[in-house]
Amino acid sequence: MSRTDLRDQIICKAGEFGADDAGVCLASELLSGPAHSGSDLPGDVDDRHSVLVIALSHPPDQPELDYFIRKDGFRFGNSKGNRRLMDISDRVGRWLKVEGIASRDLHYYVEHGGVFLKDAAVLAGLGTVGKNNLLIHPGFGPRVRFRAHLVGASLTPSTPLEFDPCLDCRKPCLGVCPEKALDHRGYWTEKCQVRLDREFEEGVLRPAEGENPPAREARYCRECELACSYTGSYEL
């Protein structure tokens, strides 16, 4: 089977397992890019590896997909949408194992060996980064979530898209950030993080259930995402 045929088969399987879209980039191109400069990269990745990027749409009428739940006293948490993505990634991994191809899930905690998902999605042909600093998918706009899966095979990469959804836009996203983290001058991560930290601390404390300890539910800000006027009119 050719590198291109295997890529297409893997992308097709991701769709069968629940992905709304998927693409492939070379691990070497992603991990040698400027975004990963100075980060601790996975030590088992080389030119023989590819990255499958899995996309799941997040429509505005399903906000619960992003409700972030973390047990008190624990550093990490999860959301319903991300659990769906993890399940798709796991199913892809089990299928690849049967096919004799080593693989593993890749999370988004870069400091612990993960990858920058926006960069991966751009290289995998799933969209472009807009003025709102979000990945804009041609069909779902910025209302989409991603997960990555490392594949132990050199696949033909997907072709990055060439479109600019912000070109003729009035850019309503630039004036809605409650923390002034986004405007015509750029984006400030630290200002955005202040809001996210506060929303977690002020989140709903869910009571203990059975053997599960209390957990805090944060409903993070999506103002810049929901203000985006892109409707997905780009023709692939």
235 within domain boundaries? no
* Domains held by the chain: number: 1
201 within domain boundaries? yes
46 within domain boundaries? yes
Residue 128 main-chain phi, psi, to 5 deg: -140, 160
Q: Residue 119 belongs to what domain range?
A: 3-160+169-226
The DSSP string of 93-139 is: HHHHHHTT--EEEE-S-GGGT---HHHHHHHTTS-EE-TTSSEEBTT
Quick one: what percent of the chain has pLDDT higher than 90?
A: 64
pTM across the whole model: 0.91
233 within domain boundaries? no
79 compared with 32, residue with greater pLDDT: 79
232 within domain boundaries? no
Is the pLDDT at 121 greater than 70? The verdict is: yes
Q: What distance in Å separates the CA atoms of residue 218 and residue 149, rounded to the nearest whole number? A: 26
217 within domain boundaries? yes
- Cβ neighbours of residue 209 under 8 Å, at least 6 residues apart? none
Q: What is the pLDDT of residues 174-233, one digit of tens each?
A: 999 999 999 989 999 999 999 988 888 888 877 767 667 778 888 889 999 999 999 776
Structure tokens at 37: 């400069």
236 within domain boundaries? no
124 within domain boundaries? yes
Q: What is the pLDDT of residues 87-111, one digit of tens each?
A: 999 999 999 999 999 999 998 877 7
Look at residue 190 in the predicted model and tell me its pLDDT.
Answer: 94
HEC string of 141-191 equals ECCEEEEEEEECCCCCCCCCCCCCCCCCCCCHHHHCCCCCCEECCEECHHH
Look at residue 54 in the predicted model and tell me its pLDDT.
Answer: 98
Residue 209 main-chain phi, psi, to 5 deg: -130, 115
Structure tokens at 193: 């993080």
